[in-house]
């Protein structure tokens, strides 16, 4: 065998040269795509950012039932209920950090908010997550099937979060639904985390419909409302309106931040969805949301979506946190016949800016409100295509 003769200093020189090349290449490459620390391995992280009673349970299920998705509802609920005293501003970093570790399938942060002896069933609305009812978390539901919450609740709660963590690691998409953000800035570190490939789906809904829905189950919002209002002393009659005002302001803040001069790491990573568009045209809207996050639409999902958006009934108190078959268009119009005009006017007052920005027309009389053939939805601006920079196709470097 021929022997390779290289003297020591040549060797050292070559090693240093190679090291320098790697450092230079990484430094240059990091601007195009993450290089070095924990890349996302093609995993996509989706934050379904919404507000209470805005149809996010429904859109959450659209993700949850997809076979490529590990879904959890409102990790932030655990933070808000464990650390109740302060206001939303003080808690948002804790919620942000919980989201970050959960996106990374690390449940140790979550455990800090659970009782010492905990089961999967301690996770908020855990049985709404199809992934927690499927292998490897639970043998009950094959991954390609739709889950049954009742059956899952009976059979799938195991001790500890090990099963959830193992399951999370086997999916290409981790989707978290959250209603506890009122701005985007605190999420910037997640958007810049090279280990995350974050997409934000921002779901909004007509504030008058949100108001009607909140009134139906106002008791369940007492504690959350106090946190939204930073524990201010607000008279009971005013609480709902002030909370609505905060929510509406947050819509404006978030949309403006994301679509007008966004920082470079936010470009193409934000999609605004109106609940009403979703209700009127579920297949097209959901198709476009799936495209945005890189999920495939299947024929069984199409059938399921049709079924759950074309059921009967306007929704009742019992269904506060449930998703059942209801006629989505009826649900989105229900406020017009059931919310008194005086309340509608007050909501319109506190939400004027957000309504005009999001395309919800105000009504000026009780008659106009109840005349359902007057369409109050302003057609959306033509869909803005903003392709995500792909890993193989570096984005154009601006001169
Ligand atoms: C957790 O599950 C175990 C059985 O796996 C059960 O004995 C225990 O009561 C459960 N604890 C809670 C808090 O649900
Ligand atoms: C869900 O599971 C429960 C309990 O096993 C069963 O009674 C019910 O019929 C199931 N629902 C559907 C829609 O399959
Ligand atoms: C809250 O305000 C009401 C009247 O506006 C007052 O009577 C009450 O003492 C206040 N409560 C606290 C805790 O400040």
Which of 119-133, 282-296, 367-381 is predicted with the least confidence, judged by mean pLDDT?
A: 367-381
Ligand number, closest to the Cα atom of 232: 3
User: By three-state DSSP, how is residue 273 classified?
Assistant: strand
Ligand 3 center from residue 352 Cα (angstroms): 29
Question: Could you tell me the CA-to-CA distances from 373 to 27, 342, 377 in Å, in that order?
Answer: 59, 21, 11
Q: pLDDT tens across 183-239, in order?
A: 999 999 999 999 999 999 999 999 999 999 888 887 888 888 888 898 899 998 899
pLDDT (mean) for 360-387? 83
Q: Give the model confidence (pLDDT) of 233-289 as tens digits.
A: 999 889 999 999 999 999 999 999 999 889 999 999 999 999 999 988 999 999 999
Ligand 3 centroid vs 233 CA: distance in angstroms?
A: 6
Q: pTM value?
A: 0.81
- Which residues line ligand 2 at a C-beta cut-off of 6 Å? 148, 150-151
Closest CA to 203 of 112, 285, 284, 129: 285
Domains of the chain from N-terminus onward:
43-105+169-297 (3.40.50.300)
Residue 159 CA to ligand 1 center (angstroms) comes to: 6
Across 96-109, b (16+ Cβ under 10 Å) vs e yields bebbbebbbbebeb
Encode pLDDT of 344-362 as tens digits.
999 999 999 999 999 999 9
Residue nearest to atom 6 of ligand 1 (CA): 159
Tell which residue, 235, 240, 205, has the closest CA to residue 59. Answer: 205
* Lining residues, ligand 1, CB within 6 Å: 119, 121, 159
Mean pLDDT of 41-67: 91
The protein residue whose alpha carbon is closest to atom 3 in ligand 1 is 159
């Amino acid at each position: 065998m021929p022997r390779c003769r290289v003297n020591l200093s040549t060797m050292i020189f070559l090693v240093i040269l190679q090291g320098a090349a790697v450092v230079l290449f990484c430094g240059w490459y990091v601007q195009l795509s993450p290089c070095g620390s924990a890349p996302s391995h093609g995993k996509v992280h989706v934050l379904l950012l919404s507000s209470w009673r805005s149809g996010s349970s429904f859109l959450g299920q659209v993700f949850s039932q997809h076979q490529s998705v590990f879904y959890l509802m409102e990790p932030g609920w655990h933070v808000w209920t464990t650390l109740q005293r302060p206001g939303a501003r003080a808690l948002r970093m804790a919620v942000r950090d919980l989201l970050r570790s959960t996106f990374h399938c690390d449940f140790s942060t979550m455990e800090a908010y659970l009782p010492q002896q905990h089961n999967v069933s301690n996770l908020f609305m855990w049985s709404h997550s199809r992934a927690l009812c499927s292998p490897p978390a639970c043998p009950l539901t094959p991954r390609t099937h739709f889950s049954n919450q009742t059956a899952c609740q009976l059979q799938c709660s195991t001790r500890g979060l090990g099963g959830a963590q193992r399951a999370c690691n086997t999916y290409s998409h981790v989707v978290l639904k959250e209603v506890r953000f009122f701005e985007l800035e605190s999420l910037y570190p997640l958007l810049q985390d090279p280990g995350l490939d974050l997409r934000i789906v921002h779901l909004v809904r007509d504030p008058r419909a949100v108001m009607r829905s909140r009134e139906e189950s106002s008791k369940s919002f007492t504690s959350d409302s106090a946190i939204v209002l930073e524990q201010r002393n607000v008279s009971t009659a005013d609480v709902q309106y002030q909370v609505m005002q905060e929510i509406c302001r947050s819509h404006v803040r978030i949309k403006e931040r994301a679509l007008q001069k966004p920082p470079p790491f936010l470009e193409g990573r934000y999609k605004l969805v109106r609940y009403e568009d979703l209700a009127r045209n579920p297949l097209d809207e959901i198709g476009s949301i799936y495209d945005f996050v890189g999920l495939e639409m299947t024929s069984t999902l199409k059938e399921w979506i049709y079924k759950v958006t074309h059921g009967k009934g306007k929704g009742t108190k019992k269904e506060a946190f449930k998703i059942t078959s209801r006629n989505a268009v009826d649900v989105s119009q229900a406020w017009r016949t059931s919310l008194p005009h005086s309340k509608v006017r007050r909501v319109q007052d506190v939400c004027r800016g957000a309504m005009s920005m999001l395309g919800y027309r105000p009504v000026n009389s009780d008659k106009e409100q109840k005349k359902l053939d007057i369409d109050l939805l302003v057609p959306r601006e033509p869909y803005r295509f903003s392709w995500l920079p792909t890993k193989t196709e570096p984005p154009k470097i601006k001169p």
